[in-house]
Structure formats: structure tokens, C-alpha cells
Structure 1
Amino acid sequence: MYKNKNSKTLWVYAVVLFACAAIVLLWTGYSQIKINNYLQEYEDKLHDKENESSMFQYNLSSALAENEKLKKQINELKEKLEAVEKENELLKKEISDSENKKEKEKNLYENIMEAYIEYAKGNIKECALKLLEIDSKSITDNNLLEKYNDLVEKTYKKASELFYFEGYENYKNKKYSEAVKSLNLSLKLYDEDYYADDCYYFIAYSEYNIGNYDKAKEALNTIINNYPDSSYYKDAKDLLRIIENK
């Protein structure tokens, strides 16, 4: 009886022990599965992160490459734009130069025609004065240049003589400023005639009487240096000495 009881007790202990062992094994297995699942999930997440990182790097490289491409295209467009702007400026300048040239040619034509009208009226001095205002080097039309030269030949020498007599009359009437103006115009139009030294002489005395001693000296030195045979040579030196002693 006692023996049976002990056997029974051992059997209960064995069953309990076995049950506990089974429970431990089950719990251990479950824990291992759970840990494995956690590890797998972590590995999956890590793999996803690696994929995301790789994708990000790929996208970043693509974006950088695209950015460089866009920069290159922008620089090329800027260069083209600058070239177009330069070309546009050149075209504007050409148009402006062409318009200015046409305007100058128009003004030249009108000025020469005005001078011709004065000549046709018999106003030699007025014609010559208008011609003096024209820059002959800017005349590109041969017919217009021929007309200009013809008028110059017909009027300059005659007008120079008329201005000389006008200046001399003003000098005699003590209108010294008017005399200087007319005599200078005479020389400007034609300074190779017989009265050229007369002009300088009357200019010198007119300037002297006005009080413009430097201009008087300039006219006197012209007589002394360029007209040594002039009848005014001695008077010019005498007046120059008087001015220098002032």
C-alpha cells in the first residue's frame, strides 16, 4: 500500500515535471519564434531603409545630374540671349547711323540750296556765309559736291573783297568791333589777295583801339612774319613795340 502511494506520487511529480518542461519548451519556442519574427521584421525594416537610402542616393545623383544639365542649358541660353542683345544693339546703331546720315544729307542739300538761292538773288556775301557753315568733307553725293564747289568758286573771292571794303569802311568810321568781324570774314573766305596784309593791319589797329592788345599783337606778328614786303611792315613793328612797352 505504501509502495503504491509512492509510485503514484512519483507519477504525479513526473507528469507535473513533464508538463512544466513542456510548458517551458512551448514558451521557449514561442519566445524564439517571436524573437525571430522581431529579427525578421527588423531585418526587413533595415533592408527597406537600405533600399530607401539607395533610392535616395540614386534620386540625388539624378537630381544633381539634371541640375548640372539645366545649369548648362541656362548658360547656353544666357550666351544666346547676350548674342541676340548685341546683335540687336548693332542693328539699332546701324539704323540710327543710317537715319543720322540721311538727316545730314538732307540738311546739307537744304543748306546748299539756300546758298544757291542767295547767289541767284545776287547776295554774294550771304551765299558765302552759308557755304562757310557747311563741312565739305561730309558731302558724299558727287552732284551735290559739284554744286557746292561751283558756288565756292563763284562767291568766296568776291565775297572776301566785299567784306574787306565793308571792314575798311567800319574802321574809318571807328566801328572797330564791326571792322574786326568783317575783316576776319574776308581773310577766312580768301586770304591770298592783294588786300590780305591790309586786313591784318586794320584788324591790329581796331583791336588796339578796343583794348584787345593780345589779338592786336597776333595780327601785327602775322604782318611781320608773313608780309615782310608790306607797306605796313614798319608801322606794324612800331605799334607792336608800343603795345609791348605798355
Structure 2
Amino acid sequence: MGDKKNIKKTVWLYAVILFTSAFVVLLLTYYSQIKTDKSLNEYIGKLTNEEKKSLLYQNNLNSALEEKNNLNKEIANLEKQLENEKNKLKTSKNEIENVRKNYLETMNSYDQLLLAKKEYDNKNYVKSADILMNNCDNNNLNSIGKDMYNNLSVDVFDKAARDLYMQGYKSYKQKLYYDAIQKFGDSLNFSKHNYLSDDCYYLKAYSYLNIGDKVNSRKDFEEILNNYKDSSYTKEVKRLLKVLDNY
């Protein structure tokens, strides 16, 4: 009987120990699981925060890039506007310069016209004609100025041509042939249609002959035949050209 009681106690003791051990194991396992879950949750939380940071960074980067592109477009537009303004300014400066240039040329033409008239009144016909021909631009004058220019030039060019013919004739008689050629040529530049024009060509041709220039002499003789059909030199010129042909 006593042995049975001892056996029950022993069994009961082992059962308690086994149950306690099992409980402790379960408790430790539960605690370990809680700790693991907590660590895992913390890791997941940290991972989510990093992802959030990464997403925020990416959004900020995209916004910055978009803002940069917008700024670049604005800068490009501003540069284009600046270039347009520069071109407008350049055009305006050119227009102002053209106006200024035209004004100065117009004023100069009127000054030269008045100077030519003054020389004409002083009977300096060659000088007056030279001013009108070379220094006074008729295109810069208004209708009144053009009328004055035309009336003066018709008269003074003819008178200057005659004065130069007389100077050339004087040089020719003095055998100053180069000077004579120059004076006759200047006379013809002012007028080729006055009654002394064929005389200029005739004496100029002879002046060339006297310096041995047969080519230019022939040109002047032929000028008489071609443009002065009624010249009193026609017969003589034909004879001289035949003579030149034999040289």
C-alpha cells in the first residue's frame, strides 16, 4: 500500500515537472515569437520609412528637373526677346543713321548749289560747272532746288565747255599737246552738243597725232563722223583716216 502511494507521488511529481517544463517552453517560445514579430515590425517600419524617403526624394528630384526645364524655357524666351530687342535697336540705329546721312547729303547739295551759283555770278563758269557736276547731287534737291539746278546747269555747262575749249586751243597753239588734250576732254565732259564740240574732237585728235598716239587720234576722228554729220570737218577727217590707214 505504501509503495503505491510512493509511485503516485512520483508520477504526479513527474507530471508537474513535465507540465511546468512544457509551460516554460511554451512561454519562452511565445516571448521569442513576440520579440521576433516586434523586430520584424520595426524592420518593416524602417523599410517603409526608407521607401517614403526615397519616394519623397524622387518627387523632389522630378519637381526640381521640371522647374529647371521651365526656367530653361523662360531663359530661352528671354534671350530670344533680348535678341529681338537688339535687332530692333540695331534697325533703329541704322534708320537714324540713314536719316542723318540723308540730311547731311541734302544740306551739302544745297550748299554746293548755292556755291555753284555764286561762282557763276562771279563768271567762274568752269568752277561753277565742276561743282554742279561733281559735288551737287540733284536727287537730294526738292522741286525748287531741281529747277534751279537744271536752269543753272544748262547755261553754265555750255559756258564752261566754251571756256575750256578756248584754254585748250591756246595750249594747242603753244604746242602743249598734253594740256590741250586735257582741256578739250574737260570741255566735252560738260557739253558734247554745243557748236564747238566737233572742234574739240578735231583738235584733240590732232593733238594725239602730234604726240604719236594714232589709236586715240583715230577714235576722235571717227567720233566726228559718227556723231557730227553736219560738221565742216567731215571731208578732212575722211582724208586723214585714209592717211592713217596707210601708216
Give the match for residue 88 of structure 2.
87
How far has the Cα of 1:232 moved from its partner?
2.7
Which residue of the partner structure matches residue 130 of structure 2? 129
Change (3 A) 1:240 1:16: farther
Give yes or no for contact 2:138–2:146 (8 Å, CA) kept in 1.
no
Asked whether the 8 Å contact 2:110–2:136 carries over to 1, the reply is no
Give deviations 1:19-49, integer Å, cap 9, x for gaps: 4323322222222112212221222223223
Q: Which shows bigger deviation, 111-120 or 165-174?
A: 111-120
Matching residue of 1:63 = 64
Deviations 1:45-102 (A, max 9, x none): 2322332343234334433432333233223222321221121011101110111112
Identical-residue share of aligned pairs (%): 37
| Pairs within 5 Å for 1:197-236 | 197-236=198-237
Q: Determine if contact 2:129/2:156 at 8 Å carries over to the other structure.
A: yes
Partner residue of 1:72? 73
Q: CA, structure 1 residues 23+169, in 2 after alignment: closer, same or farther (shift >3 Å)?
A: same
Question: Contact 2:158–2:190 (CA<8 Å) still a contact in 1?
Answer: yes
**Paired position in structure 1 for 2:53:** 52
- Between 215-224 and 98-107, report the one with greater CA deviation: 215-224
My pick for the range that moved more, 28-37 or 148-157, is 148-157
Shift of 1:234: 4.1
Residue in 1 that maps onto 2:146: 145
Q: 1:85 to 1:199 in 2, by over 3 A?
A: same
Alignment-derived partner of residue 112 in structure 2: 111
TM-score, normalization by structure 2: 0.84
The Cα of 1:163 is off from its aligned counterpart by 0.8
User: 3-state SS of the aligned residue for 2:72?
Assistant: helix
> When the two structures are superposed, what TM-score results if normalisation uses the length of structure 1?
0.85
Q: In 2, distance between residues paired with 1:237 and 1:5?
A: 178
Cα RMSD (Å): 2.6
In structure 1, what is the equivalent of residue 173 of structure 2?
172
Contact 2:202 2:224 in 1 (8 A): yes
Residues 1:48 and 1:187: Cα distance change in structure 2 (over 3 Å): same
**Cα distance in structure 2, aligned partners of 1:211 and 1:45:** 115
Consecutive unaligned residues in structure 1, runs of 5 or more: none
Deviation of the 1:239 alpha carbon: 4.3
The answer as to 2:97 corresponding to 1:96 is yes
Deviation at 1:241, TM superposition (A): 5.0
Alpha carbons of 1:140 and 1:230: their partners in 2 closer, same or farther (altered >3 Å)?
closer
Runs (4+) off by over 6 Å: none
Q: 1:113 to 1:137 in 2, by over 3 A?
A: closer
Moved more, 89-98 or 224-233: 224-233
* C-alpha separation in 2, matches of 1:3 and 1:240: 178
Tell me how far apart the structure 2 counterparts of residues 122 and 11 of structure 1 sit (CA, whole Å).
162
C-alpha distance in structure 2 between counterparts of 1:2 and 1:206, whole Å? 177
Q: Do the aligned partners of residues 174 and 49 (structure 1) sit closer, same or farther apart at CA in structure 2, a change above 3 Å counting?
A: same
What is the rounded CA distance, in whole Å, between the counterparts of 1:181 and 1:203 in structure 2? 9
Distance 1:222 1:21, change over 3 A: same
Match of 2:107, SS state, is helix
After superposing the two structures, state which structure 1 stretch, 7-16 or 73-82, moved more. 7-16
